[in-house]
């Protein structure tokens, strides 16, 4: 079985300091949280960025500032910028961090009702546009799927040449408007991807650790962090992203999975 890749989603675009005071807004806070995650065993940092007041932004200069700062303390880590941005952003606004030519970036594969009047829009043409951009720049896409239909979309666009093999999926489970986070839902998604594909599971809220265990046993990979869940256990706020990653490392060791280094992660995912 391959070693376990741990991705740390250290901030997200929606969580706030009111939910957990350790959620990063400033450059210094992003560096602190990234380092805590890397030191604990994460090899990928999934990155949304904020302005100092916490406002989400896709500004290329802000991404560069924070990515460069993270590399000073975690020089080997893979930084995976989000192209999801925040609800309401344009395609080109969301794509700004790809201009920095990161090794990886996210590619959302469908539209989702986030709740209330918020719609996270990803039309077929948007997905094609993002996929083509990543091929042109040699960026490995992590295919963010919130439901089975999004896997089907990714597979169709792969056949049309907009997404290259081998594909790497991220099953985001438990989001309002998307697939739930029960074992039956994981089995459904897991059985729907190609044999040569890899996958990561991101369980939202209470689904985070149970789905992490399932992925560890199955040979998949795990995303962990404040974007998805701010609690170490029920009612206990995590003090850092590193605490969340550390819990996954302990679970993996109990279940016999070794943790992948950044170099090993690049080899597993086919990142050159």
pLDDT, one tens digit for every residue, the chain (272 residues) = 999 999 999 999 999 999 999 999 999 999 999 999 999 999 999 999 999 999 999 999 999 999 999 999 999 999 999 999 888 889 999 999 999 999 999 999 999 998 888 899 999 999 999 999 999 999 999 999 999 999 999 999 999 999 999 999 999 999 999 999 999 999 999 999 999 999 999 999 999 999 999 999 999 999 999 999 999 999 999 999 999 999 999 999 999 999 999 999 999 999 97
pLDDT at 86: 80
pLDDT at 268: 98
Task: Report H helices in 168-231.
Answer: 183-190, 208-218
pLDDT at 247: 98
Q: How many CB atoms lie within 10 A of CB 127?
A: 24
Do the beta carbons of residue 80 and residue 266 sit within 8 Å?
no
Which string of b and e fits 57-94 if b means at least 16 CB within 10 Å?
A: bbebebbeebbeebeeebeebbbbbbbbbbeebebeeb
What is the token pair recorded at 6? 């741990």
* CB contact set of 182 (below 8 Å; sequence gap of 6+): none
pLDDT at 21: 98
Mode of pairing for the β-strands spanning 104-108 and 44-47: unpaired
Phi first, then psi: give them for residue 145, nearest 5 degrees: -125, 130
pLDDT at 116: 87
Task: Report H helices in 4-118.
Answer: 27-40, 60-73, 91-94
Sequence-ordered strand ranges (E) for the chain: 6-9, 44-47, 49-50, 56-57, 78-81, 104-108, 112-115, 118-120, 140-145, 168-173, 198-203, 221-224, 231-233, 236-237
Question: How many angstroms separate the CA atoms of 150 and 67, rounded?
Answer: 29
Do the beta carbons of residue 8 and residue 34 sit within 8 Å?
yes
pLDDT at 48: 97
Q: Chain-centre distance of CA 205, in angstroms? A: 15
pLDDT at 3: 98
Question: 6-269, what's its fold?
Answer: TIM Barrel (3.20.20)
Question: How many angstroms separate the CA atoms of 84 and 66, rounded?
Answer: 17
Q: How many CB atoms lie within 10 A of CB 200?
A: 25
Phi-psi region of 12 (alpha: psi -120 to 50; beta: other; left: phi over 0): left
Cβ burial, residue 222 (10 Å; 0-12/13-18/19+): buried
pLDDT at 9: 98
């Amino acid at each position: 079985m391959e070693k376990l890749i741990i991705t740390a989603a250290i901030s997200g675009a929606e969580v706030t300091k009111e939910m957990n005071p350790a959620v990063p807004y400033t450059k210094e806070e992003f560096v602190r949280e990234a380092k805590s995650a890397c030191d604990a065993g994460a090899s990928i940092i999934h990155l949304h960025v904020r302005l100092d007041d916490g406002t989400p932004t896709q500004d290329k200069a802000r991404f560069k500032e924070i990515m460069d700062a993270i590399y000073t303390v975690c020089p080997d880590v893979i930084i995976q910028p989000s192209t999801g941005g925040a609800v309401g952003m344009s395609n080109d606004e969301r794509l700004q961090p790809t201009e920095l030519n990161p090794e990886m970036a996210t590619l959302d594969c469908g539209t989702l009702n986030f709740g209330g009047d918020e719609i996270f829009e990803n039309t077929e043409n948007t997905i094609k546009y993002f996929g083509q951009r990543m091929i042109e720049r040699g960026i490995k896409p992590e295919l963010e799927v919130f439901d089975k239909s999004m896997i089907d979309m990714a597979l169709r666009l792969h056949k049309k040449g907009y997404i290259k093999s081998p594909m790497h999926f991220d099953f985001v489970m438990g989001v309002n408007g998307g697939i739930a986070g029960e074992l039956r839902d994981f089995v459904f998604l897991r059985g729907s991807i190609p044999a040569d594909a890899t996958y990561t599971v991101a369980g939202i809220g209470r689904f985070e650790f149970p789905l992490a265990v399932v992925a560890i046993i199955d040979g998949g990979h795990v995303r962990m962090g404040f974007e998805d869940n701010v609690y170490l256990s029920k009612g206990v706020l995590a003090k850092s992203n590193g605490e969340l990653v550390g819990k996954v490392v302990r679970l993996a060791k109990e279940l016999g999975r070794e943790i992948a280094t950044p170099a090993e992660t690049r080899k597993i995912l086919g990142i050159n």
